[in-house]
């Protein structure tokens, strides 16, 4: 009798332990959110987090390694060729990355999605023209266009956003187009048309909600790419202009010292890697959540 009681008790405890582990893993899967939260705080209040002024040069303490102390000052990640604190510059460098990435994704996402939905909903030539144009844009080499635009408009963060939006809207247009074509064939959409609904109403209330989920996933993944692209443009000198700190320009500044002072380019590179990875992971997680099949 006692044995029969022990067995279920033991089983129950084991399953509850398993459940706990399972729940813990479920929560830990969301680690990218923590990193992104830190990045957002750093972008919003860099002066609070950064120990020093990122632009303050100190020629007496140039090219010093991580952990270097100079009087009362403690350079946790070392200093660069002008004696500026690498940690402070990495923290201040979050802002251009995040702002450019988010604004570029918003501009490209909204315009691309709109064009894609319009192309997918309206039958006839309009959709074909829009999508052929999108294909055309996708075939233009990214850096060539970036150099052209920046050469024409001058290097600045606004122009970086313009370039990125110009180049990336077809990504959203394609996703929205494919989905809208499928959705617009549904009986529910046809019934709205049969009721006498105008085109915009059909798009806004019947098509947009159905195509939004994949677009959000694409947009999240695109934020990761945009962060890397912004760094790339700043690296070749088309984005953030020195002395303003940004990860891309720090990478290019540190490049010439990489054999003697590895920390100058390594830490911004690491920050870039971790943030881009987190955003990509978040995109995957959102996809899993939004897709009921998985």
The residues of the shown chain that bind another protein, judged by CB under 8 A, are 186-198, 201, 205-206, 209-210
Helix (H, G, I), strand (E, B) or coil at 79: strand
Number of H helices, E strands in the chain: 13, 2
20, 32, 121, 273 from 278: Cα distances, Å: 25, 4, 35, 8
Identify which of residues 17 and 186 has a Cβ nearer to another protein in the complex: 186
Identify which of residues 141 and 196 has a Cβ nearer to another protein in the complex: 196
Cα angle value 175/181/186 (rounded, 5°): 130
Helix (H, G, I), strand (E, B) or coil at 84: coil
Shortest Å, Cβ 126 to another protein: 15
Identify which of residues 22 and 205 has a Cβ nearer to another protein in the complex: 205
Shortest Å, Cβ 200 to another protein: 12
Shortest Å, Cβ 136 to another protein: 23
Contact 33, 282 (CB under 8 A): yes
Shortest Å, Cβ 193 to another protein: 7
Contact 138, 80 (CB under 8 A): no
DSSP H or E stretch at residue 34: helix 31-44
Shortest Å, Cβ 194 to another protein: 5
Identify which of residues 168 and 206 has a Cβ nearer to another protein in the complex: 206
Radius of gyration over every alpha carbon of the chain, rounded to an integer in angstroms? 25
In angstroms, rounded to a whole number, what is the distance separating the alpha carbons of residues 261 and 245? 18
Identify which of residues 201 and 287 has a Cβ nearer to another protein in the complex: 201
Identify which of residues 209 and 243 has a Cβ nearer to another protein in the complex: 209
In angstroms, rounded to a whole number, what is the distance separating the alpha carbons of residues 129 and 203? 19
Shortest Å, Cβ 117 to another protein: 16
Contact 108, 168 (CB under 8 A): yes
Identify which of residues 5 and 185 has a Cβ nearer to another protein in the complex: 185
Shortest Å, Cβ 183 to another protein: 10
Dihedral (CA of 201, 203, 209, 215) sign: negative
Dihedral (CA of 247, 253, 255, 259) sign: negative
């Amino acid at each position: 009798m006692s044995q029969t009681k022990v067995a279920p008790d033991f089983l129950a405890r084991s399953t509850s332990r398993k459940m706990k582990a399972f729940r813990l893993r479920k929560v830990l899967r969301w680690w990218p959110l923590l990193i992104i939260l830190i990045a957002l705080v750093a972008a919003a209040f860099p002066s609070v987090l950064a120990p020093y002024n990122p632009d303050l040069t100190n020629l007496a303490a140039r090219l010093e390694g991580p952990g270097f102390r100079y009087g009362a000052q403690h350079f946790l990640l070392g200093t660069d060729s002008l004696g500026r604190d690498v940690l402070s510059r990495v923290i201040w460098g979050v802002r251009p990355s995040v702002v450019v990435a988010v604004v570029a994704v918003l501009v490209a996402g909204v315009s691309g999605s709109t064009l894609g939905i319009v192309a997918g909903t309206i039958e006839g030539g309009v959709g074909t023209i829009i999508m052929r144009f999108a294909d055309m844009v996708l075939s233009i080499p990214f850096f060539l266009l970036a150099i052209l635009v920046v050469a024409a408009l001058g290097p600045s963060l606004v122009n970086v956003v313009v370039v990125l939006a110009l180049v990336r809207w077809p990504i959203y247009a394609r996703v929205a187009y494919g989905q809208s074509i499928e959705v617009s064939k549904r009986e529910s959409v046809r019934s709205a048309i049969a009721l006498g609904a105008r085109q915009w109403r059909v798009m806004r209330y019947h098509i947009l909600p159905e195509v939004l989920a994949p677009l959000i996933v694409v947009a999240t993944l695109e934020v990761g790419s945009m962060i890397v692209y912004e760094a790339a443009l700043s690296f070749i000198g088309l984005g953030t202009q020195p002395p303003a700190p940004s990860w891309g320009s720090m990478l290019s500044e540190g490049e010439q010292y990489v054999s003697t002072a590895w920390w100058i380019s390594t830490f911004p590179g690491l920050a870039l890697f971790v943030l881009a990875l987190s955003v990509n992971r978040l995109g995957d997680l959102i996809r899993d959540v939004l897709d009921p099949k998985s």
